[in-house]
Amino acid sequence: MKLIVNADDFGFSTEVNENIIKCHLDGIVSSATILAGGNQFQEAVKLAKQYPNLGIGVHLALDGPNNIGTKYTSLLNPQTGTFYEDVVAVDKIKKRDFIHNEMIAEYSLQIEKVLQSGISVTHLDHHHHFHLYFPVLKAVIEVARKYNIKYIRPQKILFQTKTSILKKIYRLYHQYYLVNKWSTVDGYTNLIGCNSIQMEEKFKSMLNSNKKTIELVVHPLVENGEMDFLTNHETIEIARNHIINYGDLE
């Protein structure tokens, strides 16, 4: 069983950048997705080049002050000139208010900014997991094809304890759609809301899973306990023979 440990929000801030690199060098983070519109994007690019064993994907965004383009009729809040905040953006996605071609144009700008910085892109995922909504998923698949980016974060969410049957069926349908359109792995999970004991239990369940490849999505911060877990000696030891990044799948 192989495990991709991907840290989201690379480029968001200096603290996030430093934490990701620490968990890569002293822990099990094997991959990170870079936020092209992040305040510390250039710093993240410099670090990515300094540590080439860290696989880099693009963390596409449609909310917050993360837009690259400025001339859209549907994507931007006219009062701020930036993307809408996450709750408003989700509502607009559900209502299909965002114009598909504008999403493609913005995602293209974000991907091109990363590529033009000299970074090889291993995969795509989405800020706040917006790619779990079907209109966004279709746009992400389209830009993955456009730029020949081989992998997209999966739709199937693993090791959830409080998920309705209907939601599971919905996610399975999306995973089936993605698998038939592009390449992905068997599923993903995260450590959000877990205490240290729950993190250990979930991690062992991943490594003992019958899945071929799982992505563990992390947000390394001291306050959420993930920094300590990802750099813990026991975690490193039991994960040693399982860790890869998306680039290793090629």
CA dihedral of residues 144, 149, 150, 152 (deg, nearest 10): -50
The string of pLDDT tens digits covering residues 62-86 is 999 999 999 999 999 999 999 999 9
Tokens of 2: 């192989």
Tokens of 236: 């490193």
Distance set, CA 58 to CA 55, 121, 123 (Å): 10, 7, 7
What's the distance, CA 61 to chain centroid?
10
What's the distance, CA 189 to chain centroid?
11
**H or E stretch at 70:** none
Could you tell me the end-to-end alpha-carbon distance of the chain, in angstroms, rounded to an integer? 16
Contacts of 168 (CB under 8 A, 6+ apart): none
Nearest in space to 150 (alpha carbons), one of 182, 112, 125, 177:
182
Rounded Cα gap, residues 20 and 11, in angstroms: 10
**What's the whole-model pTM score?**
0.95
The string of pLDDT tens digits covering residues 101-125 is 999 999 999 999 999 999 999 999 9
Give residue limits of the domains in the chain: 2-249
- Residue 74, amino acid: S
- Residue pair 132/61 in contact (Cβ under 8 Å)? The answer is no
Angle between helices 41-50 and 14-25 (to 10 degrees): 20
Tokens of 59: 């963390």
Does the domain spanning 2-249 belong to CATH 3.40.50.720? no
Rounded Cα gap, residues 156 and 170, in angstroms: 9
Distance set, CA 94 to CA 88, 90, 109, 218 (Å): 10, 6, 23, 26
pLDDT over 90 at 165, yes or no: no
- Residue pair 229/196 in contact (Cβ under 8 Å)? The answer is yes
pLDDT computed for residue 162 by the predictor: 75
- Residue pair 152/182 in contact (Cβ under 8 Å)? The answer is yes
pLDDT computed for residue 214 by the predictor: 97
pLDDT bucket at 126, cuts 50 / 70 / 90: very high
pLDDT computed for residue 168 by the predictor: 83
pLDDT computed for residue 167 by the predictor: 82
Distance set, CA 124 to CA 127, 216, 234 (Å): 10, 14, 30
The string of pLDDT tens digits covering residues 185-243 is 999 999 999 999 999 999 999 999 999 999 999 999 999 999 999 999 999 999 989 99
